[in-house]
Amino acid sequence: MSSNLTHEIPSPIGGVPFPIDFVPSTLFSILHALLIPIFVWRMAHPRTRTYLLIGMSIFTIERTVFYALRAYAAQHAGPRESKALNTYFQVTLAGGFITIGQDLMGLARAVLVNGTKGSDVLAREAKVNKDNKPDNGSDASYLATLDLEDYPRARKVIRLTMLGVTALFWVTITIGIVASVQYSRVLKNKADGDTVRGLWNASAAIALALFTGLAHGAVWACYSIPRIRRSATMWIVLIATLVSAVPIYRLYVLRFSTTSLLSEGPGSLNSTQSKTTFYIFHSTPEFLSAAILGLLDVRSVFNTGLWGDRRTRDPERRA
């Protein structure tokens, strides 16, 4: 792996771990590890439990392991030159930030849909749910005293749109992971390198469009849905903006190529400056997004209930 190739390949995102990576990788591993008990606590307590946090919980654990392995490879030549380990690094970097968007989409769907529900719909949900509460977890006896206007058409449009967004997120993460799995093949074939670069660019571009769409959708909801939780929409905008830095960074650095994964030359993404930008624009936004979702009482702020909005249609009226 240390020998020069006869053709150029896409420079690995984040570069190959060198001794300079040890401190920042160790730091990010510790920071993500500190979030794990917070997510465990959220999931353990009924008042804050919501299954919409499962993805972020797994992401936090995975990032703890990822940065620990990166720190280890920074100090040992064997792991540093491992094709399998470097392929894993590219796979998780290509897919991890998109999972944040998937969870954020679930929160956005819950906020937007709940803002359209009238008293009758909430009462019907309470009747069909085992805990005798609406999907948002509100007290049914309190809701009985309210007279909330229903917006069924807006709710249907939101649900259909979010189903499409969900499908696009899965397409995006699949493209990124498939491209990264093939990364070890670029060492032998220039054509594979062009394919990987193209798929990475496509994945990052679609992800950026989805994050931008979530932010714009939240802003639209503030002005179009009367009962929307505006504080929740602002959190959606903030997190979507933060995590958008990752695909923007990826789109910028994907133009670089190298003839050796261990090269420290221009465009290799192994220089001190390149490493610094990686930790600032890829690692930091991911961590901050995860930290916000962990430190917030997501169930309360986003009014998610236990499952968020998982229905395709409202419960039928009972005779």
**Residue range 182-228, pLDDT digits in tens:** 888 887 777 778 898 999 999 999 999 999 999 999 999 988 888 88
Cα separations in angstroms, 62 against 76, 167, 180, 293, 313: 21, 23, 17, 16, 35
Average pLDDT, the chain: 89
Torsion region of 127: left, alpha or beta (phi above 0 gives left; psi -120 to 50 gives alpha): alpha
> What is the reported pLDDT for 225?
87
> What is the reported pLDDT for 118?
82
Quick one: CATH architecture of 9-116+151-301?
Up-down Bundle (1.20)
The larger pLDDT score, comparing residue 280 to residue 266, is at 280
Q: What is the mean pLDDT of residues 117-134?
A: 75
> What is the reported pLDDT for 103?
94
Domain borders along the chain are 9-116+151-301
H helices, E strands: number in the chain: 12, 2
Residues near 178 by Cβ (< 8 Å), separated by ≥ 6?
199
Burial of residue 195 (number of CB atoms within 10 Å: 0-12, 13-18, 19+) = middle
> What is the reported pLDDT for 146?
67
Q: What is the pLDDT of residues 138-186, one digit of tens each?
A: 665 555 556 788 888 998 999 999 999 999 999 999 999 999 888 888 8
Q: What is the pLDDT of residues 73-106, one digit of tens each?
A: 999 988 888 888 999 999 999 999 999 999 999 9
> What is the reported pLDDT for 194?
86
> What is the reported pLDDT for 152?
87
